[in-house]
Amino acid sequence: PGSFDPVTLGHLDVIERAAKIFDQIHVLVVHNPAKTALLPVAQRVALIERAIVDTGCEGEIVVTSWSVGLLVDYCTEVGASVIVKGIRSQVDVAYETPMAIVNRNLADVETIFMLPDPAHAHVSSSLVRQVASLGGDVAPYVPKAVADFLQNG
Ligand code: PNS
C-alpha cells in the first residue's frame, strides 16, 4: 500500500521483490489526506499497471485502490495477511513502525519491511513531484511510463 503519487523505481523494485516471495500481491493506491496530490488515484493505478507490464514483472499482481476505510479493512476483504513496505532509511523505519503496530493491533495483519536496491535510496514520490512541478527531468527516478506521462500528459 502507498500513495504512489507517482510510482517510482524504488516502489517498482519492492513490487518485483515481493512478487517473487508471495503467491499473489496487491498494489494498493490509498489516498493520503496528509499529502497534496499530484495525480488522481485512477491515474496512479493506470501508471503502476503500465510500469509492471513494461518491466515484465512476474507473478500474480493486482493493482487497485482503496478509499472507503482502513487499510486493514481491505486486507480483511481480500484475505491478505501481510502488508509489505519498502524501507530506505531509519526515517522510514520511524514512520512505518507505528503504522505496523496499529495495523497488527487492529486486525492481526503483519507488516514486513523490505530493502530496495540502495540505488533507489534517495528516490521519493515527493521529490519527484517537486522536480516535475518545477520542470526538471524525473526520468532517472521513475518508470518510463511515468516519465512519459509527466512530460507529455
Ligand atoms: O505512501 P504513503 O503516503 O506513505 O502511504 C501511507 C498509507 C496510505 C499506506 C497509510 O497512510 C495508510 O495505510 N492509510 C490508510 C488508512 C489507514 O488504514 N490508517 C491507519 C494505518 S495505521
pLDDT of residue 49: 98
pLDDT of residue 33: 84
Q: Which atom of ligand 1 is nearest to the CA of 102?
A: 22
pLDDT of residue 62: 98
Q: Are 57 and 16 in contact (CB under 8 A)?
A: yes
Report the share of the chain in percent with pLDDT over 70: 100
Query: Distance between CA atoms of 61 and 41, rounded to whole angstroms?
Result: 18
CA 32 – ligand 1 centroid, Å: 6
* pLDDT band at 152; cut points 50, 70, 90: confident
Is the pLDDT confidence value at 153 over 90?
no
pLDDT of residue 45: 98
Query: Does any ligand 1 atom lie closer than 6 A to the CB of residue 71?
Result: yes
Q: What are the residues whose beta carbons fall under 8 Å from the beta carbon of 49, sequence distance 6 or more?
A: 63
